[in-house]
Amino acid sequence: MSTPDPKPRSLRYVDALREAVAQEMRRDPEVFVFGLDVDDHRAIQGSTQGLLEEFGADRCFTTPLSEDAMTGVAIGAAMAGMRPIHVHIRMDFLMLCMNQLVNMAAKAHYMYGGSVKVPMVVRSMIGKSWGQGAQHSQGLHAMFMHVPGLKVVAPSNAYDAKGCLIAAIRDDNPVIFMEHRLLYPTEAEVPEEDFTVPFGKARQMLRGTDITIVGISNMAQECLRAASLLADLGVSVDLIDPVSLLPLDMETILASARRTRRLLVVDNAWVSAGAGGEIAAQAAEHLGGEGPLTVRRLGFAPTTCPTTPTLEAAFYPNPTSIAQAAYRMVGGDPAWTPDPAQAQLAYQQVFKGPF
């Protein structure tokens, strides 16, 4: 990671995003931000708040409901030397941009023999809670991990959110930037100065000896809560947040799994053909011949996301289901379950609604 700052302060994830964009817009006049409602008074949950007032409507502006065409605008601007940040308040809307992202943005540098750069950032928010439902809750990062030419990042804390976003803006290639909305109010120590978090380097959140757990996006935070439950049982967790999914730091994951011989991957997406499947497959390829290796994946239930709270609770992994899966992998009592009060999700205590 980048050099620690001498003046860290506590900052919310959403404020770290806003600060990163503002600093880069001050540093580089070619950076601009656009997307549906980025200049609205609600400003994408506050993540673009104040940019219109400081930088004007030429560099912070809304768009029509035309995601495919607007992505083409971003690609063209990037090819012309600008650094656009295209914001989507739901990751689900990226489905409307797939041709532009997969066939144009990701391919241009290769197809033009390296003479063309596409330095653009696509910010996309993942929804959850208060009935986000089938079309506003999807984690679609695995689709983009499949495409050479794209980079995919999913920071789980405010420090990495700021550092990754600055790195994404300065990158000469298209970057898909995933933000889980339930991370927005979470705080971490974040330097005031600009800094970058390099892609392809995982974050070691906990060091342990009994099992390796990999948590993707906000699942890294839920895994942290699960690890505290397991600690009460004497189970030591080696917890890893990949931070960037493409490129993916398998070296750190493999080093951990080689020691513990148990790997649990918890994704904020469906299990089938997902990021967890990629990590599990690489672990099996590299470590399977070295001795016994236990691998398991957790993710969304294999259905569309329900809107009712009771069904939604069964759809997502949570600290209880993560801890239970890990406990069984280390040979614990299959009937064990933690106190529900200890396993409550963070957002159930602090989240009050969308606006």
Q: Which residues are catalytic?
A: 67, 136
SS3 211: strand
3-state percent helix, strand, coil for the chain, nearest multiple of 5: 40, 20, 40
Measuring CA to CA, how many Å separate 204 from each of 79, 207, 242? 36, 7, 9
Which DSSP category does 3 fall into? P
Q: Is 60 exposed, middle or buried (0-12, 13-18, 19+ CB in 10 A)?
A: buried
Query: With contact defined as beta carbons under 8 Å apart, do 155 and 164 qualify?
Result: yes
Q: Which amino acid is at 287?
A: L
Cis, peptide link before residue 247, omega less than 30° from 0: yes
Sequence-distant (6+) residues with CB within 8 A of 313 are: none
Task: List the beta strands (DSSP E) in 129-283.
Answer: 151-153, 175-180, 187-191, 203-206, 211-215, 237-241, 244-246, 262-270
Residue 64: both structure tokens together: 């029509």
Please, what's the largest Cα pairwise distance for the chain? 61
